[in-house]
């Protein structure tokens, strides 16, 4: 993020929106996030970054949408080894923020996790909508082959 991190927009973002940390389970796994916009908005947009991204990759969306009256939360999730662990941890994260309904925006891996969270909660209608960007729904395409295809 070399040039971006020195931009005036990014500096404004970092100086005006605090980076928060919370542990939501007994394993001391830390969830970190930016939360901007009116707290009265009870169904915010939650941004889930790609595997190589951090929560601040959404800084422009956070600045613009929060200024327009939307609540935007960009999350960095801890290392969790199964989808079930991630879904349970994310549910506890939303519980901590006292959010009953959310819109999820996921980029790449974040989009995959958003879909899996919605599936995880099929009984509980907590996910109001999902926006996917450059995402996937099946991880079998990432399995390594022992030889190349000709």
Name which residue leads in pLDDT, 121 or 119.
Answer: 119
CA distance 32 to 56: 11
β-pair partners for 142: none
Cβ(77)–Cβ(55) below 8 Å: no
In this structure, the chain runs to a length of: 150
pLDDT in tens, 11-59: 999 999 999 999 987 778 899 999 999 999 999 999 999 988 899 999 9
Note the pLDDT of residue 105. Answer: 96
Note the pLDDT of residue 142. Answer: 59
Note the pLDDT of residue 57. Answer: 94
Strands 72-76 and 127-133: unpaired
- The percent of residues above 90 in pLDDT, for the chain, comes to 61
Find, among 34, 120, 32, 117, the residue nearest to 78 by Cα.
Answer: 32
Does residue 101 carry a pLDDT above 80? yes
pTM: 0.87
CA distance 51 to 108: 7
Count the Cβ atoms, other than its own, within 10 Å of residue 29: 17
């Amino acid at each position: 993020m070399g040039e971006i991190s020195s931009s005036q927009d990014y500096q404004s973002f970092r100086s005006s929106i605090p980076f928060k940390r919370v542990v939501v389970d007994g394993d001391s796994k830390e969830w970190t996030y930016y939360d901007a916009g009116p707290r009265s908005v009870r169904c915010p947009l939650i941004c889930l970054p790609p595997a190589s991204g951090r929560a601040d990759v959404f800084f422009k969306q956070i600045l613009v949408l929060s200024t327009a009256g939307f609540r935007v939360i960009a999350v960095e999730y801890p290392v969790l080894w199964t989808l079930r662990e991630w879904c349970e941890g994310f549910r506890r994260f939303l519980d901590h923020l006292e959010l009953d309904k959310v819109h999820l925006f996921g980029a790449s891996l974040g989009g995959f996790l958003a879909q899996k969270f919605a599936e995880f909660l099929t009984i509980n209608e907590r996910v109001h909508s999902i926006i996917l960007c450059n995402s996937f729904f099946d991880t079998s395409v990432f399995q390594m082959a022992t030889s190349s295809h000709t």
